[in-house]
Amino acid sequence: MIIRSTFPYEKVPDGVILAPHHLTIGALIGLYFCAIVWDNYRYRQPHVVGGSLLSVIFSFISIWPYYPVLGAVLTLLSLLAATIAVMVRSIWYEYPLKYRQGVATAIIIAWDDALSHTFGVQTPLDWLFLNIIFPLIVELHKFVWAL
């Protein structure tokens, strides 16, 4: 009996790595919040979160398609590092609350897609897209082509 590994669930996420995944969108939004607060303090910058989010994007786009297990593990570990860096008592607690909430929300969005592609579970944002947004896009497409 041959046991075949199913980790990660998708060897190439959604079949096209450069498609607009909400993992990359979430990571880019998180980097945007890092850029906003970058110069708030002279010698304290959000290096851990920024570096972790860059690692998420690199692992997902550059490593996962060629080495799926390594890419998935590095993506998850990088997201974990970014999450811990924001959630534990860190420099993010010195920034305005709206920036801390923004970067945390961006990381949650990235987690949603990472868990979906890694473990094959339907996550809330996937459900929203498949059941609400995609049917609206299909109907809009039909409407436009009917004109």
Q: Using one digit for the tens of pLDDT, what is the confidence trace for 65-104?
A: 999 999 999 999 999 999 999 988 778 888 889 999 999 9
Q: 32 in a domain, yes or no?
A: yes
Tokens matching residue 135: 């049917």
Q: Which of 29, 4, 113 is nearest to 64 (CA)?
A: 113
Q: How far apart are CA 13 and CA 104, in angstroms?
A: 23
Q: Any idea which of 17-21, 23-27, 114-118 has the lowest mean pLDDT?
A: 17-21
Q: Which of 74, 69, 79, 58 is nearest to 10 (CA)?
A: 69
How confident is the model at residue 129, as a pLDDT?
Answer: 85
Domain boundaries, position 100: 19-120
Q: 64 in a domain, yes or no?
A: yes
How confident is the model at residue 7, as a pLDDT?
Answer: 83
- Per the prediction, the chain carries an average pLDDT of 89
Q: 113 in a domain, yes or no?
A: yes
pLDDT surpasses 70 at 5: no
Q: 131 in a domain, yes or no?
A: no
CB 83 within 8 A of CB 107: yes
Q: Which of 8, 33, 22 is nearest to 124 (CA)?
A: 22
Count of domains forming the chain:
1
Q: Which helix (H) or strand (E) holds 47?
A: helix 47-58
Q: 109 in a domain, yes or no?
A: yes
Q: 141 in a domain, yes or no?
A: no
pLDDT surpasses 90 at 107: yes
Q: 12 in a domain, yes or no?
A: no
| Tokens 């947004």 -> residue | 133
pLDDT surpasses 50 at 1: no
CB-based burial, 53-89: b 16+ in 10 Å, e otherwise: bbbbbbbbbebbeeebeebbbbbbebbebbbebbeee
pTM confidence score: 0.85
Q: How far apart are CA 130 and CA 136, in angstroms?
A: 10
Taking the CA of residue 147 as centre, how many other CA atoms within 13 Å lie in the half-sphere pointing to its CB? 5
How confident is the model at residue 13, as a pLDDT?
Answer: 85
Q: What is the pLDDT of residues 135-144, one digit of tens each?
A: 998 999 998 8
Q: 144 in a domain, yes or no?
A: no
3-state DSSP assignment of residue 6:
coil
